[in-house]
Structure 1
Amino acid sequence: MMNEPVITVIGSINMDLVTESDMRPKAGETLLGSHFSMIPGGKGANQAVAAARLGAKVNMIGCVGDDLFGEQLTANLKKEGIAADYVEPVTHQQTGIAAITLAEGDNSIIVVPGANHDLSADHISKFEALIAESDVVLLQLEIPLEAVVKAAELAKKHRVKVVLNPAPIQGLPDQLINSADLITPNEHEYDQLKRDYQGDLQVLKNKLVVTKGGAGTAIFKNGKETIVPGYAISVVDTTGAGDAFNGALAVQVAKGASLEEACRSANAVGALAVTKLGAQSGMPTADEVEAFLKKGV
């Protein structure tokens, strides 16, 4: 039996404050909402939960505030079976939050990073041994870029695969692009990456996995685009669908799956994630994914 894959996720940990309403308020307008929830979130934590529920051994590196949200979020990671001893409380910052409005069939999000922005390159360096023992390091951009660059650099040094989810999108230094094995933008992020990148576009494309929602995923072989189809499914909440995809992709890469096979499985995980409310609460288990794929939806 194959050992469980080891994924180290380095990224954000937030409390999602979710308001549901039929419509979004216009500037200066007040509307009555239908429901409010506080749900553990943050792209890093979401992706860690996604990978853990799929059977991976997951380490989480990040920062929270020394406050109630920080305690709750760390406890939640541990409840999910994630090694959270590498999550550091920061006394002078509040835990990050995301204010999410669910309305008109989609979401709008404002993120206040808080303690997530205290995660530094020096902090990452303390965990070099942990990174070296991983099969995949999974990164996003809700933490300082210097920390992301350092994590990718250490992973490359130890020949550990790097999956980079470039969200929220920003200019990426060549060093980071060169260190990443796979870069997973959505269509909007892909367009900006192409505009910003000054190097050989062919080199960039061969690292890309472009998510297209229900339409599936685009991958590139020698510059030629191939679409791995998505799945038609009833949508409840799109929050966290991309994180579900990235967590699943990291697990499949760690298992040695081909890129097409990895994307097919990750597309299924992303599809299942939108059938439930909340990012982490919607992450499916390995058994649920296997059953879904057997149906051939």
Structure 2
Amino acid sequence: MKGNLLAQRLKNIKVVGLGQASFDFLGRLPAYPHEDHKAELAELTTGCGGPAATAIVTLSRLGVGTSFIGAVGDDRFGAEIVGFLETEKVDISFLRSIPGCMSQVAFIAVASSGSRTIFWHPGTAPSPEPFEIDLSPFTGARVLHLDGLKIEASIAAALQAKSMGMTVVLDAGTFREGTNRLLPLVDILIASESFAVPLVGNTSDAEAIKALAAFGAARVVITQGAAGSIGFDGGEIIRQPAFHVKTVDTTGAGDVYHGAYIYRFLTGAGMSECMKFASAAAAFKCTISGNLKGVPNLEQVLEIMNHAK
């Protein structure tokens, strides 16, 4: 009976995420101190984050069935991460808690401008090995979302996903050794501005996005922070300005963008509409302090979009 219930639950999963989940300490301060100086925090909060986990929680809050594949330690930080994902209705059937290991932890310093600087430790919990990746239980899944930190596991998952007819989405924040082997397996590439530099050098954003598209992704987006985002799907280059909001904390805004983009993609929207919706979701996140505390629901995203009209 348990097996049947699990199979039914996994059948309803539409997006599977593979990557990082983190326990975050977030400190607010008036300004960053100079090296070898002290700064008193105006506020200190804790929560959960991580690129893939934040995107998956975004999708869950938007009403999409999600599952997260990864690993945490059996410490109190890992327990917090597991508990939070469960609260957010994310399936954690394949999130392992590894005995004797430390979970990923980050300290995020947020200045009064809303900009953030992140210090993080990956922890010691080993990520799933390629041979451990098994997406076959997710018979109804349509999208695999990767943060690309563990290249070999990501490649194994992407190959399985494509064989199952799933769309592979990559959050390309940092270019790592082996990333060029993963890129040809990606259908939707959402990259940071800095990601393209090792591949194409310091060039215009239009040249950079077309160079990234040459790796094979049908849709490519480069997020540009306060400047918005630029997209390319083989036609004209699309530019989506950022929505103007009072920025409190930019932590996790890019990850929310990824999750919101996938949500709109699942509804059948084209590139421009996906980018607009994702930009609105990221803007909402910037109005609230904390990583996952500011992840919006559908009503909140639509409010940002309608307010801008």
Note the C-alpha offset of 1:115: 4.2
SS at match of 2:101: coil
Unaligned runs of 5+ in 1: none
TM-score under structure 2 length normalisation: 0.87
Paired residue for 2:266, among 231, 251, 254?
254
Residues 276-295 of structure 1 aligned to structure 2 (within 5 Å): 276-295=288-307
Given candidates 153, 169, 180, the residue that maps to 1:147 is: 153
- Gapped runs of 5+ residues in structure 2? 1-10, 203-207
* 1:169 pairs with 2:175: yes
Give, in angstroms, the shift of residue 245 of structure 1.
0.2
Residue of structure 2 equivalent to 1:233: 245
Match of 2:6 in 1: none
Which residue number corresponds to residue 141 of structure 2?
A: 134
1:203 aligned onto 2:211: no
Using a 3 Å threshold, how does the CA distance of structure 1 residues 275 and 202 change in structure 2: closer, same or farther?
A: closer
TM-superposed deviation, 1:202: 5.0
Equivalent residue number for residue 7 of structure 2: none
- Describe the SS at the equivalent of 1:292: helix
Distance 1:242 1:254 in 2: 19
Does the alignment pair 1:182 with 2:188?
A: yes
Report the number of matched residues. Answer: 291
Tell me the distance in 1 between the aligned counterparts of 2:77 and 2:130. Answer: 24
- More displaced, 113-122 or 19-28? 113-122
Question: For residues 86 and 40 of structure 1, what CA distance do their matches in structure 2 show?
Answer: 18
Residue of structure 2 in register with 1:91 after alignment: 99
The secondary structure found in structure 1 opposite 2:90 is coil
CA distance in 1, matches of 2:303, 2:158: 34
Q: 1:11: which partner in 2?
A: 19
Q: Take 1:175 and 1:223, find their aligned partners in 2: how far apart are those partners?
A: 25
Distance 2:96 2:117 in 1: 29
Query: 1:29 aligns to what?
Result: 37
The 8 Å contact of residues 214 and 271 in structure 1, kept in 2 or not, is answered as no
Write the distance in 2 (CA, Å) between the matches of 1:201 and 1:275: 31
d(CA) in 2 for partners of 1:201, 1:39? 34
TM-score, normalised relative to structure 1? 0.90
Corresponding letter in the other structure for 2:76? L
RMSD, aligned CA: 2.4
Cα-to-partner distance string for 1:121-173 (whole Å, 9 max, x where unaligned) = 1232xx3214553111111034x211111111111111100110012332444
Q: How much has 1:256 moved relative to structure 2?
A: 1.9
Q: Is the 8 A contact 1:18 1:102 kept in 2?
A: yes
SS of the residue 1:153 aligns to: helix
| CA-CA distance at 1:251 after TM superposition | 1.4
